């Protein structure tokens, strides 16, 4: 499909941003920064290029650079959410708290009380298990949207996100939510055996074996792989 669009011609920045968005969802970040940075310099008013570059920078561990780009955006719907993620990565939890309260995520709106719980758990790891149980219980009771609960647990990097029983193929209304599985600190989520089932169901493993392994996964034989 990308090849067909390229043959049409003159929407270079848009094509690059769409393709980069797909690759980020598949777990590739580092390789995108140089070409996206060059295109951003060439077309600085294209917010599609700007936010996907910011996305790649966040996942690559360069949140300060991402924040500069995000702060300059006017029309990116999820700007404040990405600023919250970048702030968490930077350790600026108070700023992250302000952005998360009532923020629009791809899965829905983050209720202020749960935003506070998330940041409380990040600031005090001793509270993390209790907050995770509260989120799972709230989803089970219908008090919190299941997809919002899923994305909230990803912010905590918790494998309990799998406990919500979400089908990775059919349950997401915004496919870019899948990119959140690569949140930098969610190592225990990616090392849970259910993560392999997740990415295999989405066809990621087949793609990786054909086109190259992403930044946080590698093969451990002909039929197995591991992620960090």
Calculate mean pLDDT across residues 98-111.
96
Residue 166, in any domain of the structure:
no
Residue 32, in any domain of the structure:
yes
Residue 159 reports pLDDT greater than 90 = yes
Q: How is 185-206 classified by DSSP, letter by letter?
A: T-HHHHTSHHHHHHHHHTTHHH
Total domains in the chain come to 1
How would residue 174 be classed by pLDDT, with cut points 50, 70 and 90? confident
Residue of 174 and 78 predicted with greater confidence: 78
Give me the residue label for tokens 């994305």. Answer: 151
* CATH code of 20's domain: 1.25.40
* Euclidean distance between CA atoms 170 and 188, whole angstroms: 24
pLDDT at position 6 is 62
Which range marks the domain in which residue 7 is found? Answer: 1-76
Calculate mean pLDDT across residues 107-127.
97
How would residue 13 be classed by pLDDT, with cut points 50, 70 and 90? confident
* Euclidean distance between CA atoms 175 and 163, whole angstroms: 20
Average pLDDT, the chain: 93
* Euclidean distance between CA atoms 126 and 122, whole angstroms: 9
Contacts of 219 (CB under 8 A, 6+ apart): 209, 213, 225
pLDDT digits (tens, 9 = 90+) for 187-219: 999 999 999 999 999 999 999 999 999 999 999
pTM equals: 0.91
Residue 45, in any domain of the structure:
yes
CA 208 vs CA 30, 109, 155, 189, 201: distances in Å = 15, 32, 25, 19, 13
Residue 9 reports pLDDT greater than 80 = no
Residue 193, in any domain of the structure:
no
Residue 8 reports pLDDT greater than 90 = no
pLDDT at position 10 is 54
Residue 195, in any domain of the structure:
no
Residue 42, in any domain of the structure:
yes
Contact status, residue 165 vs residue 147, Cβ threshold 8 Å: no
Residue 169, in any domain of the structure:
no
């Amino acid at each position: 499909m990308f090849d067909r669009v390229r043959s049409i011609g003159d929407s270079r920045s848009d094509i690059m941003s769409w393709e980069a968005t797909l690759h980020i969802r598949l777990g590739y970040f580092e390789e995108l920064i140089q070409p996206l940075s060059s295109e951003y310099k060439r077309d600085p008013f294209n917010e599609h290029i700007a936010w996907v570059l910011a996305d790649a920078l966040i996942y690559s561990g360069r949140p300060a650079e991402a924040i500069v780009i995000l702060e300059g955006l006017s029309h990116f719907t999820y700007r404040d959410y990405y600023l919250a993620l970048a702030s968490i990565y930077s350790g600026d939890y108070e700023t992250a708290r302000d952005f998360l309260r009532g923020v629009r995520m791809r899965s829905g709106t983050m209720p202020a009380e749960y935003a506070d719980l998330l940041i409380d758990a990040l600031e005090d790891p001793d509270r993390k298990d209790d907050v995770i149980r509260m989120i799972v219980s709230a989803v089970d009771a219908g008090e919190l949207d299941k997809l919002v609960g899923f994305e909230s647990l990803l912010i905590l990097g918790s494998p309990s996100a799998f406990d919500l029983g979400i089908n990775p193929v059919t349950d997401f209304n915004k496919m870019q939510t899948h990119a959140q599985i690569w949140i930098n600190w969610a190592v225990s989520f990616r090392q849970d055996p259910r993560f392999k089932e997740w990415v295999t169901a989405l066809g990621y493993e087949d793609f990786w074996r054909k086109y190259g392994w992403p930044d946080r996964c590698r093969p451990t034989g002909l039929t197995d792989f591991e992620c960090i």
